Structures are given as structure tokens and as C-alpha cells.
Amino acid sequence: GRVWGISLGCFGPRYNAEEVLLKTGLADMSALGGTLRKVQSTPKGYEANFLGMNQEMAGLACRRLEARRIDCDVIGPPS
């Protein structure tokens, strides 16, 4: 079910990743309102993710964000 999400990219400081999640979530509450905001530490920096969607919801949310010129990638369940 709801093991899909979207990534908004990696950021240097954790604060920047959290800020992007907050601003993006407020900008599109209808697509992202019921999702979990998560900042994940990676070797490249802090990845800003919205999680808890099915595949269709994640694709729709990402397309809506891209229409607003916000880069994102659909992320699937862990392999």
C-alpha cells in the first residue's frame, strides 16, 4: 500500500531539508496533507522526503510539484 513517497533532494544542513519540507507541504496541502515528512541522513547530505503514499498518489504529487517548478523524484519501497 502506502510505502511510496517523493524526494525533494539532498541538502547540506538539516535545517534546509526541514525548511523545504515545510514550505512544500504548505504549498500543496491537498496532495501532501496526509503524508509523513521525513529528513533522512545520507552520505550526500540530508534528504527531504514525503512518505506514506501509494504509487499513484506519489506520481500525482510529484507531477503537481513539477508543474510548480519544484524538483522531485518518486521513491518506491525499499528493496
Q: What's the CA gap between 46 and 68, in Å, rounded?
A: 22
pLDDT digits (tens, 9 = 90+) for 45-68: 999 999 999 999 999 999 999 999
pLDDT digits (tens, 9 = 90+) for 3-39: 999 999 999 999 999 999 999 999 888 888 889 999 9
How far does the chain reach from its first CA to its final CA, in angstroms?
15
Is 21:51 a contact under the CB 8 Å cutoff?
no
Enter the pTM of the model.
0.90
